[in-house]
Amino acid sequence: MSKLLAMTPELSMLHLGAGLGGPARTLAEHFGVWVTGLEPSQSLAQAGNHLSTMAGMIKKAPVQQLDLTQENPLIRRYDRVLVDGYLAQRPNKAEALAMIDAALKPEGLVLITDYFLVDDGSVANADYRDWLQGEPRQLNLVTAPEFVEAATKAGLGVRVNEDRTEEHIDLIKKAWAGADKLVADLLQQQGQEHLTKIVLKEAELWSKRVKVLTGGQLQFRRILAAKKEKGVKMMSNW
């Protein structure tokens, strides 16, 4: 998913929606890029930073809390920005995208992976409403054309806009392939009732996500955009 960013050890990178910092550490390890992970959840940011410390990557891939109460929480500028499931939670897409554009250096690139409405009719679908109500995050989704329009207004030029739904569904199914055995093993162990409930609840959430993805109400897309000032030289394998 990150191939389009053409990363090297000389580049700095921001990961918005860093979670526990797994992607940040992986990208820093494989490409040598310097990654700063920002995560809105305080507990996730603290746990992610601890994991980066334990992995000996606190300088290469730290995870910090993103303070959304600040007027402009992104005070540094980066060569690359990876936005992973973060913009779906922001009600004002144009404002969030303008913040990201301001954080990009000249000729910087931003890669966005997220969920999008297939069309405006999705919100009336019963399966879609059922999934949305069960989401632990408060989501504010838009269609891909609406998002591209907001990105353009924010000063970003969209280079790639592709539907990766089928690949995303396949990855979800592979990730949960052994869930039945895991639950069966947990049920045989004493004192694991709470963990079993957590696994079952998470499995139900992902099952509902797959249902609306396969049902045509939801899409998973990869979008690459660049600052417009000087443009970005296109690569032959894009």
| pLDDT tens by residue, 72-106 | 667 689 999 999 888 998 888 998 998 899 899 99
Q: What is the average pLDDT across 131-156?
A: 93
Q: What predicted TM-score, i.e. pTM, was given to this entire model?
A: 0.86
Cα–Cα distance, 14 to 120 (Å, whole number): 31
pLDDT at 71: 61
The predicted-structure confidence for 126-135, as pLDDT tens digits, reads as follows 999 999 999 9
Residue 87 and residue 148 in contact, taking contact as beta carbons nearer than 8 Å:
no
pLDDT at residue number 227: 87
- CA distance linking residue 31 with residue 9, whole number of Å: 6
* pLDDT for the residue numbered 85: 87
Q: Which of 225, 203, 112, 118 is nearest to 165 (CA)?
A: 118
- Mean pLDDT, residues 156-171 taken together: 96
Q: How confident is the model at residue 2 (pLDDT cuts 50, 70, 90)?
A: confident
Domains and CATH numbers, the chain: 3-165+217-227 (3.40.50.150)
